[in-house]
């Protein structure tokens, strides 16, 4: 695994170009962040591979008992198109370290880097049959994985609707366990004591990073009334200055949406927001007449039952709303079927503690956003799924616990 990580580092530029062509991601970001982090994820779990162990138990009767942590078996991974490299590492590295073999289906829109990573794995010495990449559509390749009787576990990242299908297929076949990292509609709460300029910068990045094609995007922004007007003005100014363009251009901050289908879906949501009566502060249109580029789009005067507030749009679209009290902010933040992530911006430790313990989400970022790490578990509450990627929790979901018990005869102590 260490050699594999080194080989990925040696091929960063080619991998980054493939990812940019496939997904419209910013070349410099993929080259300097996504792929190096993938290599480090592999190293992290390589370091954990020889630290998997059970424990000796204190049995209540005359028995000697201990547990073994065994590989769960053959794992089926199904990964999305928005972060092909990142998701590849998050799934493959811990399951490989746990001793599992696997079949991985990349998204049909973005298969190229997964195939290259598998090629490098073979060159690094990972045996044939351990890591198998099978491109294809969800309706055939994905369905085959989820329903196959010889696959012992499925790990899926994608939409909530498809997550339901994964669970049903697993239940109808061999009752294989599943872990699901699904959709999100994450809130960011900005309180009156926040530094307005820094908070606006954080909020901007929170919904525009990766052109909004990220499940933890902070697309519901709640700002306390004392700073709301100043904050709205700064946020709109920053959004208008955001550079949308060729993802191979170092000056670009946002590339094209990943596909025509996604592009049209986002624009349809924007039109729906207008019809619902929300105020369009900026954006709302495509950029240029070539490519799938969309302006950073901010709506205000939104109501919490609006489609643009409740649905995961998966694009550069933000709903902005004012709140008065901490209690109101918490209630609004939790008014969603999702529970993947949340952000809190405040200088008050009491507010930070209260809000972070009150929001039903798998990760809460305080005065930061998108703060991921190999050692930080990541996953959702509610309809954002269950199970965790990253951290030792990710390793454990690919392991079975076996108890081994033998009787003790004439033992002087128990």
pLDDT in tens, 348-398: 999 999 999 999 999 999 999 999 999 999 999 999 999 999 999 999 999
The Cα 13–Cα 8 span in angstroms is 10
pLDDT band at 324 (very low <50, low <70, confident <90, very high): very high
User: What average pLDDT does the chain have?
Assistant: 97
Global pTM value:
0.95
pLDDT at 28: 97
Residue owning tokens 């369009």: 280
| pLDDT score for 213 | 97
Tokens of 214: 């990220």
Question: Which has more confidence, 60 or 120?
Answer: 120
Beta bridge partners of 389: 378
Condensed to tens digits (0 to 9), the pLDDT of residues 246-295 reads 999 999 999 999 999 999 999 999 999 999 999 999 999 999 999 999 99
> What pLDDT shows up at residue 135?
97
- pLDDT digits 0-9 by tens, 65-121: 999 999 999 999 999 999 999 999 999 999 999 999 999 999 999 999 999 999 999
User: What is the number of other CB atoms lying within 10 angstroms of the CB of residue 123?
Assistant: 11
User: Which residue do the tokens 């669970």 mark?
Assistant: 167
Catalytic residue among 181, 213, 232, 312, which? 181
Q: How far apart are CA 181 and CA 214, in angstroms?
A: 12
Angle among Cα 82, 163, 380 to the nearest 5 degrees reads 75
Quick one: pLDDT at residue 284?
A: 96
Residue 154 has pLDDT above 80, yes or no: yes
Q: Mind spelling out the 3-state secondary structure of the chain?
A: CHHHHHHHHHCHHHHHHHHHHHHCCCHHHHHHHHHHHHHHHHHHHHHHHHHCCCCEECCCCCEEEEEEEEECCEEEEECCCCCHHHHHHHHHHHHHHCCCEEEEECCCCCCHHHHHHHHHHHHHCCCCCCEEECCCCHHHHHHHHHHCCCCCEEEEECCHHHHHHHHHHHHHCCCCCEEEECCCCCEEEECCCCCHHHHHHHHHHHHHHHHHCCCCCCCEEEEECCCHHHHHHHHHHHHHHCCECCCCCCCCCECCCCCHHHHHHHHHHHHHHHHHCCEEEECCCECCCCCCCECCEEEECCCCCCHHHHCCCCCCEEEEEEECCHHHHHHHHHCCCEECEEEEECCCHHHHHHHHHHCCCCEEEECCCCCCCCCCCECCEECCEECCECHHHHHHCCEEEEEEEEECCCCCCC
- The pLDDT score that the predictor gives to residue 410 is 87
Residues forming a β-bridge with 337: none
Alpha-carbon torsion (252, 87, 375, 177), positive or negative: positive
For the question of residue 181 being annotated catalytic, the response is yes
Give dist(CA 307, CA 140) in Å, integer.
31
pLDDT at 223 over 90: yes
Q: Contact at 8 Å (CB) between 271 and 212?
A: no
CA distances from 413 to 57, 405, 408 (A): 14, 17, 10
Q: What is the pLDDT of residue 113?
A: 98
Per-residue confidence (pLDDT) for residue 411, from 0 to 100: 86
pLDDT > 70 in the chain, percent: 100
Of 405, 40, 264, residue with least CA distance to 272: 264
pLDDT at 15: 98
- The pLDDT, as a whole number, for residue 414 is 76
Per-residue model confidence (pLDDT) at position 413:
81
Counting residues of the chain whose pLDDT is more than 90, the rounded percentage is 98
Q: Read off the pLDDT of residues 202-216 as tens digits, 9 standing for 90 and up.
A: 999 999 999 999 999
Least confident of 57-61, 178-182, 191-195, 220-224: 57-61
CA 226, CA 289: separation in Å to the nearest integer? 41
pLDDT band at 198 (very low <50, low <70, confident <90, very high): very high
CA dist., res. 151 & res. 176, Å (int): 7
């Amino acid at each position: 695994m260490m050699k594999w990580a080194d080989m990925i580092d040696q091929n960063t530029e080619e991998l980054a170009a493939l990812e940019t062509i496939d997904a419209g991601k910013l070349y410099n970001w993929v080259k300097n962040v996504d792929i190096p982090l993938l290599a480090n994820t592999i190293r992290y779990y390589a370091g954990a591979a020889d630290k998997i162990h059970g424990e000796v138990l204190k049995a209540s009767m005359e028995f000697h008992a201990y547990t073994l942590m065994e590989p769960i078996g053959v794992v089926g991974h199904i990964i999305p198109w928005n972060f092909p490299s990142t998701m590849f590492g998050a799934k493959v590295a811990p399951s490989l370290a746990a001793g599992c073999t696997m079949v991985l289906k990349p998204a049909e829109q973005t298969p190229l880097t997964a195939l290259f990573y598998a090629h490098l794995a073979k060159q690094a010495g990972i045996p044939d049959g351990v890591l198998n990449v099978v491109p294809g559509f969800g309706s055939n390749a994905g369905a085959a994985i989820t329903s196959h009787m010889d696959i012992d576990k499925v790990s899926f990242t994608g939409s909530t609707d498809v997550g339901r299908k994964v669970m049903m297929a697993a239940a109808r076949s061999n009752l294989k366990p599943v872990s699901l990292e699904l959709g999100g509609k994450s809130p960011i709460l900005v309180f009156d004591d926040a530094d307005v300029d820094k908070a606006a910068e954080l909020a901007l990045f929170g919904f525009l990073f990766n052109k909004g094609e990220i499940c933890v995007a902070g697309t519901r922004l709640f700002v306390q009334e004392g700073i709301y007007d100043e904050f709205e003005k700064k946020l709109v100014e920053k959004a208008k200055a955001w550079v949308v363009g060729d993802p191979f251009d170092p000056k670009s901050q946002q590339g094209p949406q990943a596909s025509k289908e996604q592009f049209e879906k986002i624009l349809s949501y924007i039109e729906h927001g207008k019809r619902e009566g929300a105020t369009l502060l900026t954006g709302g249109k495509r950029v240029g007449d070539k490519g799938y580029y969309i302006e950073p789009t901010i709506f205000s005067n939104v109501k919490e039952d609006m489609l643009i507030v409740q649905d995961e749009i998966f694009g550069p679209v933000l709903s902005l709303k004012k709140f008065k009290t901490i209690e109101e902010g918490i209630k609004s933040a939790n008014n969603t079927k999702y529970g993947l992530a949340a952000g809190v911006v405040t200088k008050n430790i009491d507010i930070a503690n209260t809000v972070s313990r009150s929001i039903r989400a798998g990760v809460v970022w305080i005065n930061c956003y998108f703060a991921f790490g190999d050692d930080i578990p990541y996953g959702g509450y509610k309809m954002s799924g269950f199970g965790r990627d990253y951290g030792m929790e990710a390793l454990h979901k690919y392991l079975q616990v076996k108890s081994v018990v033998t009787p003790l005869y004439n033992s002087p102590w128990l």
